Structure 1
Amino acid sequence: SLARDSSAARVLHERARALDQQAAQLRQLAGQVELHQACAELKKALDGADEKIDLANAALLAAKLDHGDLDVSVYRRDIDRMGQKLGQSLPKNADHKTKLDALNKFFFEDRGFHGSRGDYYHRSNSYLSEVIDDREGLPITLSVLYMELGRRIGLTMEGVGLPGHFVVRVRPAKGEPQLVDVFGGGKTLSEKEAADKVLSTAGIELAPEHLKAVTKRAIVIRILHNLLNLARDDRDIPGALRYLTAIVEIDPEAAPERWMRAILRYQTGQRALARVDTDWLIEHEPKGIDLKHVRELQKLLAREE
């Protein structure tokens, strides 16, 4: 009868809705497992002494947060091949200047790497894999690749995280170190030019601490912060949670990021995980965090348990 058919259809629709909810929960759980694995892999890559960290590998693993199927080994081999080709172009017993000139020619002229101008704020510019594919990127991702290739031919290089702009310092065995603006095509910068760059990009005066070398761990965290800022601009909460979780995994003392993650976890219904973050903040009482707000969120979470 029509009544029986209508009742059967209603039951089937209710069952379908329940299955949809279960599928959504399973997808969320699978995403959390994948994120945990990716963050653990990234943390492991950044453990240990700074000089032993493979920066290219870590930067590629950061890209894997958004591209779970990314084959990091393919791009590592690509970087190795570029390094070999660059090394083969050098004369025997090449001096510092010869090596640096060869690196600049190979990187900018032969391979065509350049700063992204048309779509600077696209996330692809923060993924080292896509920088290699597209030959363009942000100052920091281009600098990572530039340093990795320079290291392969015996150049001593370090990253310098100027406010608003990332550059490379090249240290010759003899003579003064040079700041190189990789985003600017390999242009060397005097300290005054670096100060002008900071003033124009960040609106502040250059301070001595801005010129200090940054660790490889700090470089990867800065890449993640770039991605986090873009996710916030796009109102991409799942993306923001991925980057925050990676930052906290690398640096458990990153209190502002942990607090932001607690809020986003609460907003997305991940109450138990939000409670983990609020408990940590209450226990450790980090500077710069308003514990009154943390306790308010903790009370909300307790009421909803």
Structure 2
Amino acid sequence: MSSLLSRIEQAEPLCAALMLGQLFGPVDVDASLNQLEAWAAMGRQRLDGEAEPFAAYVRFFYTELAFGPGHDLFASDMVRMDKVIAYRTGGCICLALLFCHLGKLLGFDLQGVNLPGHFLIRLRLASGRLQFYDPLTGKLLDWVQLESQCQALLSDFHHDDEEDEEALPWLRWLEPASQEDIVTRLLLNLKSAFMYELKFEQAWQASDMLVQLHPDDPYERRDRGFLLQQLDCHNGALADYRYYISQCPQDPAAMLLKLQLKHYLREPAILH
């Protein structure tokens, strides 16, 4: 799995999303990329001669190709890029990555933005001005909406250093997402979706890759421990829980876990 993770980290974002899907079933990455090339050829025809080419691209993606959010955004198919391409429905991060990838093939300067709570599309115009779009609808977000959303998020974050808070305003959240940001967010969404569907083995696979990416994160270790417990891998669960408790001893959940550890079975189990 570590070699797959290394290849994913080096891949272009949409390819990385497709490769992550290979953890959970067969995915023909080349076929998906060929489909995107075919759509790009269609898009060039639709944009030819358009006075407002980007507006024409938005119509092409959301109306003609009919991409949009699914009925159940918590479902794992909304996060698996191969399924999003096949069914043309997905969550915000997959739609954003797909929109950016196809748009780049058509010549637009597009990047994803890893805003906490929502993934956005960022367009850089020829003038250098930036515009932001909601990937679920393709609608342009004005600066008042963006600032309001970011200021609301700021209330959930606390900085001990006032100078640091001034040096890092909410605008930092509107910078392009790094490859690690994208892979982490995809894995977090996959983990959550599989847990929602009670598919604990698949959720563990996503969680294990998150721990490989962030080995010192006690909360990722806690989540992997929970999933190992669901799979009757109690020794592995104990190790992860103990790491979490040692790093977050004052966390109420850690205190509760500490009391419960003595009740866990300690017989080794094999994960199939």
TM-score under structure 2 length normalisation: 0.75
Contact kept in structure 2, 1:99 and 1:155, CA below 8 Å: no
1:124 deviation in Å?
Answer: 1.2
1:202 deviation in Å?
Answer: 11
Give deviations 1:97-151, integer Å, cap 9, x for gaps: 84423421321222111222x3232221111111111112111111110000111
CA distance in 2, matches of 1:199, 1:251: 28
Between 1:175-184 and 1:143-152, the stretch displaced more is: 175-184
Look up the match of 2:78.
125
1:154 deviation in Å?
Answer: 2.5
CA distance in 2, matches of 1:199, 1:121: 26
Look up the match of 2:22.
64
Q: Residues 108 and 247 (structure 1 numbering): CA distance in 2 closer, same or farther, change over 3 Å?
A: same
Look up the match of 1:114.
68
SS at match of 2:133: strand
Look up the match of 1:188.
140
Structure 2 unmatched runs, 5+: 158-168
SS at match of 1:162: coil
Give deviations 1:12-45, integer Å, cap 9, x for gaps: xxxxxxxxxxxxxxxxxxxxxxxx3xx6324322
1:220 deviation in Å?
Answer: 2.6
Contact kept in structure 1, 2:218 and 2:243, CA below 8 Å: no
Contact kept in structure 1, 2:235 and 2:266, CA below 8 Å: no
1:265 deviation in Å?
Answer: 2.0
User: What's the RMSD between the two structures over aligned residues?
Assistant: 3.8
Q: Residues 120 and 274 (structure 1 numbering): CA distance in 2 closer, same or farther, change over 3 Å?
A: closer
2:60 aligned with 1:103, yes or no?
A: no
SS at match of 1:76: helix
14, 24, 32: which one aligns with 1:75 = 32
1:165 deviation in Å?
Answer: 2.1
Contact kept in structure 1, 2:123 and 2:130, CA below 8 Å: yes
Give deviations 1:144-197, integer Å, cap 9, x for gaps: 10000111122222212233322111012314100011212x211112123455
Contact kept in structure 2, 1:198 and 1:204, CA below 8 Å: no
Over alpha carbons, which structure has the higher Rg? 1
SS at match of 2:121: strand
2:240 aligned with 1:240, yes or no?
A: no
Look up the match of 1:144.
97
Look up the match of 1:219.
182
CA distance in 1, matches of 2:3, 2:22: 12
Query: Which one has the bigger helix percentage?
Result: 1
The letter of the residue matching 1:190 is D
SS at match of 1:158: strand
